[in-house]
Structure 1
Amino acid sequence: MYFCYADDSGADQGRTLTGLLVPEEGWNDLLHCWLEGRRALEQTWGVAKNTELHATQFVKGRGRPCATEEQNAAFGRRARIAAHDLMVRHLTRCASLRVLTVAGRTAQVADVYQGFVDRLEAWALQEDTRVLIMYDGQAGPDDTSALTPAEAKAVWEQAVRNATPYRAAHRGLPLASRRVLEDPIMQDSKYSQFIQAADLVGYAAFHHLVLQHPEIWPKMNPVHAMSKAYRRLSGHWLPGHGEQGIVWLGEGEEEEA
């Protein structure tokens, strides 16, 4: 069985969704590689191991992730991009890791998610395996202590409703043969190292695509270093899913990038 940690990226009329796939027997190795990267990140720039990582922070200079103001002042754009690359390089050390990105000319992430699930279902059938998907999103509020019972119930119900299109993608699979098991398991990136990893890889894949298709994202200024980071994972791109591990969902048909 494979665990799949997924996050979306993109802008305007083009959306992407990237999944990191790891077999159950490779899960410990992937976590070891990632935590080694986190240790290097802390030793080099002072980014604490429990600090949530967001690709936009590294690329756009948002937030103050370092332990001291002196370290934050030194953690400029060039250093942040280098930090992003460091974490991707550590992911490449896990031999069993597989990466899949699905992209669509649409503003609706749910449409791309459906294509993502369909691709994983077909791949898992071919490989005679099964997949559990962990997707970036809140399953409910972190803390309800400041809410009335009615308010807490309303927040939980809203979180459940927000996940409706993603549950539908799973429940639409044929029950007798389906390989993508269960509903999507929503995980807040704040508490999931591998959802954060999917965010970093997904953002790199998005910039790689913008460089190739500027007509879809004319307002974007792609960062070449992000594309380079994504290409570091070339040995881990899911076989048979595009030459660069990216599948395009076209209008009425699927194209491979």
Structure 2
Amino acid sequence: MTTHQSVDRTYYVDESGIPGTGLALYAALGVPTERAPEVLRAWRELRDQWYREYGVPTDFELHATNFLSGRGRPAGLNPAKIERYRMVQAALDVIGAQPSLSVVTIYTKQPAHWGRAKRQAYGGLLRRLDRRLAETGERAALVVDGDGSERLYEQVHRQVGPRCIPRPATEVPAHTSVWIQMADVVAHTACQAIARQHSRRFMWSWYSRHLPKAPAPERC
């Protein structure tokens, strides 16, 4: 976990969307600095349970799109799709059960230009987080999935100028951060709550059912 001594919480951010439809979405998982250890304990307990019940190693990267599609063989195993569905729903339940965590999801649709939609959605996320932080009197840091090559985050941060988020997002590869993997599960689930792809019909209600305290995805 990246440490930010001068902030009250860290938002871990991941994107989702469907380029062909112009749907772009960002989900942010807010983790209060002092509550992070207890959330990690709950997550590690879940991963230990997966290892005992399904043989999925505790360090196997959870990437929702691939995992739910049946891709990836943790430790050479290939859990049935129904088992993968149950594991991801259990992950959402753990996230939803943590009273200290907050979820913010922002999306937009621009069928003609998905890149523009991504910039708009990320800007909407920054504005929404900044308003929330101003209300609570907090300052926050942002960590996003990435390898450090994406210029969008710094550019949009400079344009929006969020007062309660002092610095642009830090990019961290998902395979090194369980927090980003949690955000990925939330983002993918939120995306299907909006897109309602027929092939993902089984997921349409997951966001509202397993994250009942999270606000509905907000369009910007």
TM-score by length of 1: 0.75
Letter in 1 for 2:204: S
Is 1:133 the counterpart of 2:142 in the alignment? Answer: yes
Which residue is 1:63 aligned to?
A: 72
SS in 2 for 1:27: helix
CA-to-partner distance for each residue in 1:2-37, whole Å, 9 max, x for gaps? 110010111021111111011111111211111111
**Counterpart-to-counterpart distance in 2, 1:130 and 1:245:** 23
CA distance in 1, matches of 2:160, 2:108: 21
> How far off its partner does 1:183 sit?
1.5
2: distance between equivalents of 1:227 and 1:116? 22
Work out whether 1:246 is the aligned partner of 2:201. Answer: no
The alpha-carbon deviation at position 173 of structure 1 amounts to 4.2
Counterpart AA for 2:135:
Q
2:147 is aligned with 1:170: no
1:45 and 2:54 are equivalent in the alignment: yes
**Displacement, 1:133?**
0.7
Q: Distance between the aligned counterparts of 1:14 and 1:85, measured in 2?
A: 23
2:41 corresponding residue in structure 1: 32
Q: Per-residue displacement from partner, 1:221-245 (whole Å, max 9, x unpaired)? A: 253442333121122x2xxxxxx43
The aligned counterpart of 1:195 is 180
Gaps of 5+ in 1: 140-158, 212-219, 238-243, 250-257
SS of residue matched to 1:102: strand
Name the CA distance, whole Å, in 1 between partners of 2:30 and 2:137.
15
1:118 to 121, 124, 127: 127
CA deviation vs aligned residue, 1:85-130 (integer Å, no higher than 9, x gap): 1111122231111111101003122221111111111111111111
The answer on whether the counterparts of 1:5 and 1:195 sit within 8 Å (CA) in structure 2 is yes
Tell me what 1:94 maps to. Answer: 98
CA contact (8 A) 2:96 2:212 kept: no
* CA distance in 2: counterparts of 1:86 and 1:191, whole angstroms: 21
Instruction: Name the aligned partner's letter for residue 164 of structure 2.
Output: R
Percent identical pairs in the alignment equals 26
Aligned ranges 1:14-33 → 2 under 5 Å: 14-33=23-42
Q: Distance in 2 between matches of 1:225 and 1:34?
A: 24
TM (norm. structure 2) is: 0.87
Q: Which letter maps to 1:84?
A: V
Structure 1's consecutive aligned runs of 4 or more residues displaced over 4 angstroms after TM superposition are: none
The one-letter code sitting in structure 2 at the alignment partner of 1:246 is: P
- Give per-residue Cα distances to partners, 1:31-68, cap 9 Å, x unaligned: 11111111111111111011111101232111112x24
Contact 2:144 2:172 in 1 (8 A): yes
With over 3 angstroms needed to count, the CA separation of the structure-2 counterparts of 1:29 and 1:224, relative to structure 1, is: farther
Q: Structure 2: how far apart are the matches of 1:188 and 1:23?
A: 21
**Could you tell me which amino acid in structure 2 is paired with residue 229 of structure 1?**
W
CA shift in 2, pair 1:229/1:43, >3 Å = farther
Is 1:82 aligned with 2:86?
Answer: yes
User: Are 2:126 and 2:160, in contact at CA under 8 Å, matched by a contact in 1?
Assistant: no
Provide the alpha-carbon RMSD of the alignment.
Answer: 1.6
Deviation at 1:180, TM superposition (A): 1.0
Correspondence 1:233 to 2:218: no
Contact 1:6 1:20 survives alignment (8 Å) = yes
